[in-house]
Amino acid sequence: MPGIYDICVQDHFAAAHSLRGYDGNCSNLHGHNWVIEAHIRCTKLNQLGMGIDFRDVKGVVKDVLSKLDHTNLNEVAEFGSINPTAENLAKFLYSELSRRLNTEFIKVQKIMVFESPGCGSSYQEI
Ligand SMILES: Nc1nc2c(c(=O)[nH]1)N=C([C@H](O)[C@H](O)COP(=O)(O)OP(=O)(O)OP(=O)(O)O)CN2
Ligand SMILES: [Zn+2]
């Protein structure tokens, strides 16, 4: 039976945000040390026994996160008209990482974004 590998890479970034229209203090500018987890589905291993090298994933993740790190997320173009919630960040990262990593045998499966330990959201497409 064909198997599926789930390759997982975590990273983090620091950024501020405020939630427009939120009834509470999250509408004030405040910061989080965001933690992200990228899950990549691989159906074939290379000659080294890897679905995809962690290093390759980490490089792409770092590059995408560099657009968000030490910013006010509300000022990043993608969040100019939608709130920079964990949900919207997960979808943004899913789309950026899919564009750069997906191949015939490799597919970004799920992105998890944690605002704080124990509070997060994930995005995936069926
Ligand atoms: N589904 C979501 N709910 C909330 C989000 C979100 O992105 N998706 N975001 C927020 C705010 O960003 C808020 O800063 C986070 O709130 P909270 O987890 O309560 O964080 P605190 O640092 O305020 O936690 P305390 O334990 O109360 O100190 C809210 N909801
Ligand atoms: Zn917040």
C-alpha torsion angle, residues 100, 106, 110, 114 (rounded to 10): -60
| Distance from Cα 30 to the centre of ligand 2, integer Å | 6
- Is 30 part of any known ligand binding site? yes
Is position 104 annotated as part of the catalytic site?
no
Is position 26 annotated as part of the catalytic site?
yes
Residue 122 tokens read as 């994930």
In this predicted structure, what is the pLDDT of residue 30? 98
Residue 60 tokens read as 């792409």
In this predicted structure, what is the pLDDT of residue 2? 79
- Domains along the chain with CATH numbers: 5-123 (3.30.479.10)
Going residue by residue through the chain, which has 126 residues, state the pLDDT in tens, using 9 for 90 and above.
779 999 999 999 999 999 999 999 999 999 999 999 999 999 999 999 999 999 999 999 999 999 999 999 999 999 999 999 999 999 999 999 999 999 999 999 999 999 999 999 999 998
What predicted TM-score, i.e. pTM, was given to this entire model? 0.96
